[in-house]
A and B are shown apart, each in its own frame.
Chain A
Amino acid sequence: MMTADMQGWGVWLALSAACIGTYVCRAAGVKLSGHIHQDSEVFRWLSAVTYAMVAALTVRMILMPLGLLATVPVLLRVVICALSLAVMVSSPQRRLVPALLTGTLLMLAYGVFRTSP
């Protein structure tokens, strides 16, 4: 696992590489955005592409998570999401915070239930 070397310069180099890579993507967006109008077809297409990417990322975090969330049965994760969505759309004004709390507290309750004998 961890070696002494890993805590040394290697980890800082990895961090630098990751930071540069991420910032380059942001900067490329600024550069490209200078040539795009918000009522153009390219803009509409890119919006759809972005929403698809964000959706894929979200679903990945829910269905194929890394770490602690992976220990919760997938069916339970999906059911809690469905209940939170129901709270969210139950009002035309959108109940974001109550919906977030519903999901979080249900997950917390499951965690408590699981650890109690």
Chain B
Amino acid sequence: MSRFANRREAFWQGIRDALGAPVLVLFAGMVGFGAMGRSHGFDAWMTGLTSLLMFALPGQVVMLEMFISGSSLLAIGFAVTLTSTRFVTMVVTLFPQLHRRDRNPLLYLWVHMLAMTAWAVSMREFPRMSAQHRLNYFIGLALPCWLISPMGTVLGYFVAGWVPAAVTLGLVFINPLFFLLTFTDVKPWANRIAIGLGCVLGPAFYLLDADSSLLLTGLVAGSLAYWVDRRWLRPRPVEVQA
């Protein structure tokens, strides 16, 4: 029994799943980013291109903030790369679920469309479909998310100033709220504990050192959660009698 008849059907289901909360979330976040670029005095082209070519909202915000505060190019590159380290493990946890046939160099192209939104939805949906449909589903899901981002950014850039602050406030808030809500859908206990510990340790490490705090939180909270799960929660493997 397969959920989709063929790969095309999986692609269109991905598109349908994207055209709801995921596209809304990215659009809102990017409108906020566009408004921020405008208020910081950046060029509209440059602000829009950032969303198209970088497509990682936290890194984009870090870049703008550091540039305004006059940081060196090297420092900007380093800080942004550190905030993007989450992509390494996001890809490593998502792509091994793809069919062996799809795990080819084309993935270097598709990976650019991966953001936290598509990742969170894919992690939830992948187990519910067979492996050969996953890549097409992912492309259908991630493509609209990526394409809406520069549009939202440019729109945000041009409407900044005449949209009431209350609306902007609502839009900026959608992003963190979405991720918070998707956490309730996470099933494995190791990951649930990791989320709980990450919520507690994240702010603490952020106060110690902002740049490396994500990576540090991930390693400490994630390893601890993995260990707790392995030590106490996971059902013991059944001993095979010879």
What is the distance, in angstroms, from A55's C-beta to the closest C-beta of chain B?
3
Beta-carbon nearest neighbor of B200 in chain A: A59
Q: Which residue of A57, A104, A112 contacts B177 across the interface (Cβ within 8 Å)?
A: A104
In whole angstroms, how far apart are the Cα atoms of A62 and B198 in the complex? 13
Digitize B36-76: 1 where CB-to-A-CB distance is under 8 Å, 0 elsewhere.
10000111001001100111101111010111100001101
Asked if B63 and A107 sit within 8 Å, CB to CB, the answer is no
CB distance from B152 to the nearest CB of A (A): 15
Grouping DSSP codes into helix (H, G, I), strand (E, B) and loop, the A interface class, with mixed when no group exceeds half, is helix
Which residue in A20, A53, A94, A99 is a CB contact (below 8 Å) of B217?
Answer: A53
5 pairs of A and B residues whose beta carbons are closest in the complex: A29-B91, A111-B166, A56-B202, A49-B222, A55-B198
Q: Given the complex of chains A and B, what is the CA–CA distance between A67 and B226 in angstroms?
A: 35
Give chain A residues whose Cβ lies under 8 Å from the Cβ of B103: 33-34
Q: Judging by beta carbons under 8 Å apart, are B84 and A22 in contact?
A: yes
For B206, what are the chain A residues with a Cβ–Cβ distance below 8 Å?
56, 60, 64
Taking beta carbons and an 8 Å cutoff, which residues of A are in contact with B? 1-2, 6-7, 10-15, 17-30, 32-34, 36-38, 41, 43-69, 72, 77, 80-81, 84-85, 88-89, 94, 96-97, 99-100, 103-105, 107-112, 114-115
Q: Looking across the interface, which residue of chain B has its beta carbon closest to that of A88?
A: B181
Q: How many residues of B contact A (CB 8 A)?
A: 107
Measured in the bound complex, the distance between the Cα atoms of B6 and A54 in whole Å is: 32
**B169 touching A24 by the CB < 8 A rule?**
no
17 residue pairs from A and B, CB less than 8 Å apart: A7-B43, A11-B43, A22-B81, A22-B84, A25-B87, A47-B89, A48-B225, A50-B89, A52-B195, A55-B194, A55-B221, A59-B199, A60-B213, A62-B177, A100-B181, A108-B170, A111-B167
Known contacts A61-B176, A104-B174, A30 near B116 by CB under 8 Å: no
